[in-house]
Homo-oligomer: A and B are copies of this chain.
Amino acid sequence: MPFEPCGVITLTTDFGLRDPFVATMKGRILARYPRASIVDITHDVPAYWPGEAGFWLSRSWRYFPDGSVHVAVIDPGVGTRRDIIVAAHATHVFMAPDNGLLAPLLDEAATHRIYRLNPQLLQRFSLDAPSATFHGRDIFAPLAAELAAGRCQPEDLGEPTSEYVPGWIEEPHLIGQAVHGVIVTVDHFGNLITNVERSHLSRFTQPVVHAAGRRFALRRTYGDVRAGEYLALLNAFGVIELARAERSAAEGLGLGRGAPVSVTEGLRTSQ
> Which B residues touch A41, using CB under 8 A?
20, 23
Nearest B residue to A22 via CB reads B40
Partner of A188, one of B8, B18, B134, B227: B18
A133 in contact with B56 given A20-B41, A23-B39, A44-B18 (CB within 8 Å):
no
Which residue from chain B places its CB closest to the CB of A132 in the assembled complex?
B221
Bound together, the chains give a CA A60 to CA B167 distance in angstroms of 34
Complex Cα distance, B79 from A246, in Å, reads: 14
Which chain B residues border A64 with CB–CB below 8 Å? 24, 27, 30-31
Asked whether B188 lies within 8 Å of A223 as measured between CB atoms, the reply is no
Complex Cα distance, B39 from A15, in Å, reads 16
A142 CB to nearest chain B CB (Å): 10
Which of chain B's residues have a CB closer than 8 A to the CB of A223?
76-80, 82
User: How long is the Cα–Cα vector from A189 to B19 in the complex, in angstroms?
Assistant: 10
- Oligomeric state, in copies: 3
Interface of A, helix, strand, loop or mixed by DSSP: loop
Q: Among residues 1 to 57 in chain A, which have CB atoms less than 8 Å away from a CB atom of chain B?
A: 6-8, 10, 14-21, 23-24, 26-28, 30-31, 34, 37, 39-45, 47-48, 56-57
Bound-state Cα–Cα, A63 to B23, Å: 9
A204 is an interface residue with CB less than 8 A from chain B: no
Could you list 15 further interchain pairs (A-B, Cβ under 8 angstroms) beyond the known A23-B40, A23-B60, A132-B220?
A10-B27, A17-B17, A17-B40, A18-B42, A18-B45, A18-B188, A20-B60, A23-B39, A30-B65, A31-B66, A79-B221, A80-B221, A82-B223, A132-B221, A134-B236
